[in-house]
Chains A and B, each alone.
Chain A
Amino acid sequence: AQTVTQSQPEMSVQEAETVTLSCTYDTSESDYYLFWYKQPPSRQMILVIRQEAYKQQNATENRFSVNFQKAAKSFSLKISDSQLGDAAMYFCAYRDMNRDDKIIFGKGTRLHILP
Chain B
Amino acid sequence: NAGVTQTPKFQVLKTGQSMTLQCAQDMNHEYMSWYRQDPGMGLRLIHYSVGAGITDQGEVPNGYNVSRSTTEDFPLRLLSAAPSQTSVYFCASSYVERTEQFFGPGTRLTVL
Residues of A within 8 A of B (CB): 6, 9, 32-33, 35, 43-45, 47, 50, 91, 95, 97, 99-108
The number of A-B residue pairs with CB atoms under 8 Å apart is: 50
Residue of B at shortest CB range from A97?
B98
User: Is the Cβ of B58 less than 8 Å from the Cβ of A102?
Assistant: yes
Binding site for A on B (CB under 8 A): 31, 33, 35, 40-45, 48, 50, 56, 58, 88, 90, 92, 96, 98-101, 103, 105-106
* A48 smallest CB distance to B (angstroms): 10
Residues from chain B with Cβ under 8 Å of A99 in the complex: 50
Task: Verify A108–B50 contact, CB threshold 8 A.
Answer: no
Contact assessment for B42 and A107 in the assembled complex, using a CB-CB cutoff below 8 Å: yes
Once the chains bind, are B106 and A107 in contact (CB under 8 Å)? no
Q: Which residue of B lies closest to A98 (CB)?
A: B98
Among all A-B residue pairs, the 3 with the closest Cβ atoms: A45-B103, A107-B42, A105-B43
A107 to B42, CA, bound (A): 4
Find A107's partner among B31, B40, B100, B101 (CB 8 Å cutoff). Answer: B40
Residues in B with CB closer than 8 Å to A102 are 33, 45, 48, 58
Known: A45-B90, A102-B58. A91 touches B105 (CB 8 A): no
> Given the complex of chains A and B, what is the CA–CA distance between A101 and B31 in angstroms?
8
14 interchain pairs, CB-CB under 8 A: A33-B98, A44-B103, A44-B105, A44-B106, A45-B90, A91-B42, A91-B43, A95-B98, A99-B50, A101-B50, A101-B96, A102-B45, A104-B45, A105-B44
A43 to B45 Cα, complex, angstroms: 17
Docked complex Cα distance between A17 and B33 (Å): 36
User: A106's contact among B42, B58, B106, by CB below 8 Å, is which?
Assistant: B42
Q: Which of B40, B41, B96, B105 contacts A43 (CB 8 A)?
A: B105
| Contact of B90 with A100 in the complex, beta carbons under 8 Å | no
Instruction: List B contacts of A50 (CB < 8 A).
Output: 99-100
Q: Please measure, in the bound complex, the distance between the C-alpha atom of A43 and the C-alpha atom of B44, giving whole angstroms.
A: 15
